[in-house]
Structure 1
Amino acid sequence: MNKKELYSMKLLEATDELVKLAKEDVPVRNKETCKEQLIYQRGLYLRAEIENRILKVAFYLAEYLSMDCRKPLYTLYVDKKNGSFIGYDYQIKKWTERMLDKTIFSKWLYQENSYMQEADTALIQKYLESEYDDAFYALYVYQCDQRHRRLGMKYEKILANWDQRMDRLPEIPKDWLRWQKKVGITQNFIFYHYSRKKDQTGHCSWCESEVPIRHPHHNAVGRCPKCRHQIQYKAVGRAKNIETKKETAYLLQTCGKNVFVLREFQLQMLIVSSSYKKPVYSFFERRRILYDEKLNTEEYYFGRHHWKKENRWIQGKLQVPLYPGYGGYMTYEEYDMGNIYGKSLHGIKNRTFRKTGFQEYAKAKKYLDPVSFFEMVRERPYLERLIKAGLYHLTEDIMDNKAQIYCEDSGDLGKALGIDRFRLKRLRTNNGGEIFLQWLLLEKAQNKLIRDDVILWMCREKLKPADLMFIMDRMNPLQIRNYLEKQASESGESVKNLIKTWKDYLDMAIRVGVNVQDSVIYRARKLIQRHNEMIKEIEAKNLILRAGELEKKYPGLNRICRELKKYAYVGKEYQIVVPEKVDDILYEAKLMHHCVNNTETYYERMSQQESYILFLRKTEKPTEAYYTLEVEPDGTIRQTRTFYNKQNEDIELAKDFLIKWQKQLKKKLVKEDYELAVKSQGLRKKEIDELRNKGVRVNGVGYCNKLLAEILEEDLMESGNRELEEQAA
């Protein structure tokens, strides 16, 4: 339809009858929704007219008609002869091909409360040849039919083009079905009946004949004595229906000038135990990929077309169901490793294919993913040279995205790879991959020969030159191999782990100021033992530095530790050990991972002689950490904590000992100790009151949002000195 001609047509204005009805159409407030709305009894009014064989339908809203606004908001033009429609929106002043359910009038589509004169309704029904009583809905149905017709024409054209492309594909080879049975499907079986006889026969699913077998076992793996294929034994009495795994096979064929096609098949075999001599084969072709002279792809898959409602070849990525029986689909872009039908490769008359090296690579590898191969060749054309030079391992590393090599544009492949002909020959002879090439590049750069057996050992252990650069300035690759082999045999550790340990050990040695250029150091006799010793040495050095910082910040800490000897006590099962210096407290706290290691509060209290840190040990193990105590000068125990700041049930077993220790301590205390104890008691009560007022809670192990003040009060073990204040006075 010509928009200029449509726009020049007579404008359909509302009649007096429509205006009168609109003014009588009083809106009612609707309070059921979240926002109050005015609802009209009708709300929408329509008028129709035919001009130049074009049906014009004007749309009016009651709220505008009631204010004597006779111009329509929207006019729909329908040309039945040409099967087209178009609308003009007077609000935005634009032409639109929107469906009526996508306009502001959509809410009247199914309510059937719009108004149109009977003559106009009859006019629309006659023009559209519609049987619907509601003219508005009849217009919408007509739009849907036209859209459906146009879409159908569009899809018919697309589908015809797809079918034309698929019809150009050649027929499958004559022996293709046999090849799938004998080569594509790799799972084979020998079925037999239970018998006590030593010599019996079974049926091989590959050679399809009776073969002699001896002492078969159900599900055992073996080889057929006739065809020599790997098989699995299946007892007929125990074997149920067998469904082999789905395997992938690829067929490549010429498809027109400078185009070849890759066809992907899924193969499977079903054997029913009752008729095991007649297996059922399933060969499903699910994807076809067309390649042009630049290896650009055009992919098709076999699936259900949403328009045709039938299974057919569809252009695009494979669509698979999200879940079995579920209507949703997802795009499946992965490609499986599969068997390649080799006979067809010789008949592909395509220059681009010949330059990929695929034919040579397929001979060397039984299974491969051809889609990924062609993608990689398109990105890295030098792969063809590597394949035709017999460097299959290096090609495989590149295909797996493991290798990032630089290949120059040179007629000499050795020079292109950064090496020379002599080293290229060694790379080919040893079937070297990326790691072998890296060692050859290092050898050429340093101009120092590295033996092939040493490089092969590095490849087996997956060691690149970059992994050993930390020691290469002091040891050559042969020495490194011999050293690592010896350390691995003595320690039982893997070479990879030993390298990490070795590097870590040398880094620590530098930190402590050891000469790492000395062979005695960098080639330690027992690497793991020396590594562990170095860790302890660094930890001790760190503790000494930390102790020095605390002594500087809180003077007199070490002196106070030396004066705590009277707090030591030995019982039958337990004993109290006093620290000789701050280093002992730091080491114990680090070992037990409790709060003494994370805060300086305890060292500040010790410096003010408010409380002391003591160790509770078992008498039979006096050097082994057990519990850490915070004790006031009179022996009152504020806290008892073991590993990871916990207090286990076993502390109850030691309480009798702790009470006995407190009693004997009274005889050793002097007036100064009691004065310090009074002060400590006051500070402790003040701290607990502050924590209670602040509502400080703990959510650690064993505590569930419990007040810290309550925890400290529960931990408290007073010494029982009732005359404490008297003694202090």
Structure 2
Amino acid sequence: MNALGVNKCDFWESETHRQIVSAGVVEVYEYGEYKRRKMCWHETDLYCVPSDGSMVYARNLSNVFRHSRTSYPIAVKSGCVEDIGRYLKKEKERPLIEMCMKAGLTMLGRYFLNDWGYKNTEKNINAHELGKMLCIDKGRLKRLKDINGDGKILRWLQEEKRNNTVYQDEDIMTLCEADIYPEDTKRKNPFQYLSMHKVCNYLRKQQEYRRLLGRKENMCYLWSDWCDYVDMMQKMKMDCTVELLLKPKDLTVAHNELVARISLKDSVKEIREKEKKFKNAKKLLESGELKKYEYSDGRYCIVSPGSIKDIFEEGIVLKHCIHTCDIYFQRMDIRETYLLFLRRTDKPDVPWYTLEIEPGGNIRQKKSVLNEAYKDLDDAMPFLKKWQQWVKKNLSAKDKKLAEKSDKARKDGYKQLREEKKLIWHGRLQGTLLADALENDFMEVV
């Protein structure tokens, strides 16, 4: 903000490539070091141009292509940011792009610019009419135009034609929003037991229900949760034909309850498997070595597990994943992290929060019911900081070395998660980058 109270901002831009179109010919130029002599504009190849979105000088766009058959001006006006050189090349190779753009099917035209989309769409390029090329009739072509549908919608209209039936446009839009394709109806999922309309209607109702509860309502996540839920129902030999069971009022709660039931059923066998697989973790827990981290001060206390069974009981009661994910046992096996229990002093045997800590006292995660952290944790934060200081004062030389290794492993892990763009699939942070959530939850010893 300057002296006059006006907000000011500085910005800059750089131009590294130019493509000049004349008489249908594209000349590509790059600004950079030329033959190790000087910095200047010099001619280069189309494949040297970055593949991300590019800007064009729209003022003379129509004039440049006045005598050309290309649909590029239409594509630009529809929001397409495909590089002009690549667009012209693909348009020449794929006549459907030009035909769709000029027919008002701009979303479908842009879909066909994608190599995967074009390759995996059924089409008849030898036909002479757009509808026949897209393997649909005139009525369905009109519906496609009316909603400016993309390749996903086209695939459902093609499926509709194959089955000689009619799907509601609202249902098709729901299927596309959830990333459900025709081939998905043949797999083990809700389509085995419900009609398409009932599947779509339930997804829409659950989306609205989650929205009212303040949860993220991404349709793809909803569909994934529901498929997981049906799969678990089948494993538990539940009657999937009973719609009251198949379509629970709150899918999230029902999903997590089934996870807990399966965990209880399989816990004895899994505990034995974990004990065989993670012998170092078993030995560490049963030795009582983690008792050195136990601490109590007023309202709260830190309790250490004495066996893998204790960890299973904690995970099942709190309905989170510490007992089902090998990663926590793997980390204990190599002493990268330990699991401890945060409890209320007046209820030391009642699970409240699970802590994943590093040997030096850093807290990586603090999770309660359904793998969430709630407002009740705020009152315990001063206690946790006090506990960290107590741990810091009592660290042995061995613990300090382990803490250094753990610190490096955590940073490397965050880096890998960012590169892989891993997301959280459930709960309040659904759709958030896992690395961001873990970093926000991390509590370092000060």
Q: TM-score, normalised by structure 2?
A: 0.55
2:181 matches 1:455: no
Match of 2:20 in 1: 288
Q: CA deviation at 1:430?
A: 1.3
Q: Of the candidates 229, 234, 257, which is equivalent to residue 533 of structure 1?
A: 257
In structure 1, the residue matched to 2:201 is: 482
Question: In 2, distance between residues paired with 1:367 and 1:547?
Answer: 54
Q: 1:515 to 1:285 in 2, by over 3 A?
A: closer
Q: Report SS of the residue matched to 1:288.
A: strand
SS at match of 1:341: helix
Give the distance between the partners of 1:238 and 1:390, measured in 2 at CA.
Answer: 47
Q: Take 1:307 and 1:619, find their aligned partners in 2: how far apart are those partners?
A: 72
Q: How many residues align structurally? A: 322
Query: C-alpha deviations, 1:592-624, integer Å up to 9, x for none?
Result: 9699x969xxxxxxxxxxxxxxx9986621541
Q: String of CA shifts for 1:325-379, please: whole Å, max 9, x gaps.
A: xxxxxx654572222524425642xxxx42x433554565587642221021133
**In structure 1, C-alpha distance between the alignment counterparts of 2:17 and 2:342, rounded to whole Å:** 77
Paired amino acid for 2:43: Q
Preserved contact between residue 54 and residue 81 of structure 2 (Cα < 8 Å): no
Q: Which residue of 2 aligns with 1:388?
A: 102
With over 3 angstroms needed to count, the CA separation of the structure-2 counterparts of 1:517 and 1:377, relative to structure 1, is same
Q: Tell me: CA distance 1:380–1:588, structure 2 relative to 1, closer, same or farther (3 Å).
A: same
Distance 2:182 2:107 in 1: 18
Cα deviation, 1:529-566, whole Å, max 9, x if unaligned, reads 1111101101101113357899xxxxxxxxxxxxxxxx
Contact 1:289–1:300 under 8 Å retained in 2: no
- Is 1:315 paired with 2:43? yes
Matches within 5 A, 1:461-610: 463-466=180-183, 470-492=189-211, 493-494=216-217, 495-546=219-270, 587-588=313-314
Partner deviation per Cα, 1:270-320 (whole Å, 9 max, x = no partner): xxxxxxxxxxxxxx995435676xx7x554557786599796x7432499x
Residue 621 of structure 1 aligns to which amino acid in structure 2?
A: K
1:337 equivalent to 2:65? Answer: no
RMSD of the TM alignment (CA)? 5.4
1:166 aligned partner: none
Return the alpha-carbon distance in structure 1 between the equivalents of residues 72 and 192 of structure 2: 43
Q: Tell whether the 8 Å contact from 1:547 to 1:583 is kept in structure 2 after alignment.
A: yes
How many angstroms does 1:502 deviate by? 0.8
Is the strand fraction higher in 1 or 2? 1
Change (3 A) 1:371 1:236: farther
Q: For residues 617 and 369 of structure 1, what CA distance do their matches in structure 2 show?
A: 58
Distance 1:475 1:398, change over 3 A: same
Q: Does 1:379 align with 2:93?
A: yes
What is the distance in 1 between the residues matched to 2:237 and 2:140? 42
2:154 matches 1:430: no
Relative distance call for 1:445 and 1:473 in structure 2 (3 A) is farther
TM-superposed CA distance for 1:437, in Å, is 0.7
State whether residues 21 and 64 of structure 2, in contact with CA within 8 Å, keep that contact through their aligned partners in structure 1.
no
Hey, what's the Cα distance between the residues in 2 that align with 1:467 and 1:375? Answer: 33
TM-score by length of structure 1 reads 0.36
Shift of 1:240: 10
Structure 1 residue corresponding to 2:138, chosen from 415, 421, 424: 421
Indicate conservation of the 8 Å contact 2:311/2:322, yes or no. Answer: no
Question: Percent same amino acid among aligned pairs?
Answer: 24
Question: Given the superposition, is the C-alpha separation of residues 620 and 450 from structure 1 closer, same or farther in structure 2, using an over 3 Å criterion?
Answer: same
Matched residue type, 1:395: G
1:593 and 1:287 mapped to 2: Cα distance? Answer: 55
SS of alignment partner, residue 513 of structure 1: coil
The 1:585/1:514 distance shift into structure 2, 3 A limit, reads: same
Q: 1:593 to 1:427 in 2, by over 3 A?
A: closer
**Does 2:88 align with 1:357?**
no
Contact 1:317 1:333 in 2 (8 A): no
1:59-138 alignment, distance < 5 Å: none
Q: Tell me: CA distance 1:246–1:518, structure 2 relative to 1, closer, same or farther (3 Å).
A: same
CA contact (8 A) 1:340 1:362 kept: no
**Cα separation, partners in 2 of 1:533 and 1:288, compared to 1, 3 Å:** same
Q: Which has the larger radius of gyration?
A: 1
Cα distance in 2 for residues equivalent to 1:318 and 1:365: 22
d(CA) in 2 for partners of 1:363, 1:585: 58
Equivalent residue for 2:424?
Answer: none
| Cα deviation 1:642-701 (Å, max 9, x = unaligned) | 9769799879x9xxxxxxxxxxxxxxxxxxxxxxxxxxxxxxxxxxxxxxxxxx999545
Deviation digits for residues 506-540 of structure 1 (CA, Å, limit 9, x no counterpart):
11222222232332332223211111110110110
Task: State the distance in 2 between where 1:645 and 1:363 align.
Answer: 54
Alignment partner of 1:453: what SS?
helix
Change (3 A) 1:241 1:702: closer
* Residues 393 and 431, structure 1, Cα contact 8 Å, conserved in 2: yes
User: Bigger relative contact order, structure 1 or 2, given CA contacts below 8 A and separation 6+?
Assistant: 2
Amino acid at match of 1:336: S
1:407 corresponds to which residue? 123
Q: Deviations over 1:467-494 (max 9, x none)?
A: 6652223223332222122222223341
The answer as to whether partners of 2:17 and 2:28 remain within 8 angstroms in 1 is no
Query: 1:683-702 to 2 correspondence within 5 Å?
Result: 700=402
Provide structure 1 residue ranges, at least 5 long, that are not aligned to the other structure.
1-217, 219-234, 248-265, 267-283, 320-330, 551-571, 600-614, 628-640, 654-695, 705-729
Q: In the alignment, is the contact (CA less than 8 A) between 2:105 and 2:149 conserved in 1?
A: yes
Show CA shifts across 1:209-244 (max 9, x none): xxxxxxxxx9xxxxxxxxxxxxxxxx9967799988
Measure, in 1, the Cα distance between the counterparts of 2:32 and 2:38.
Answer: 10
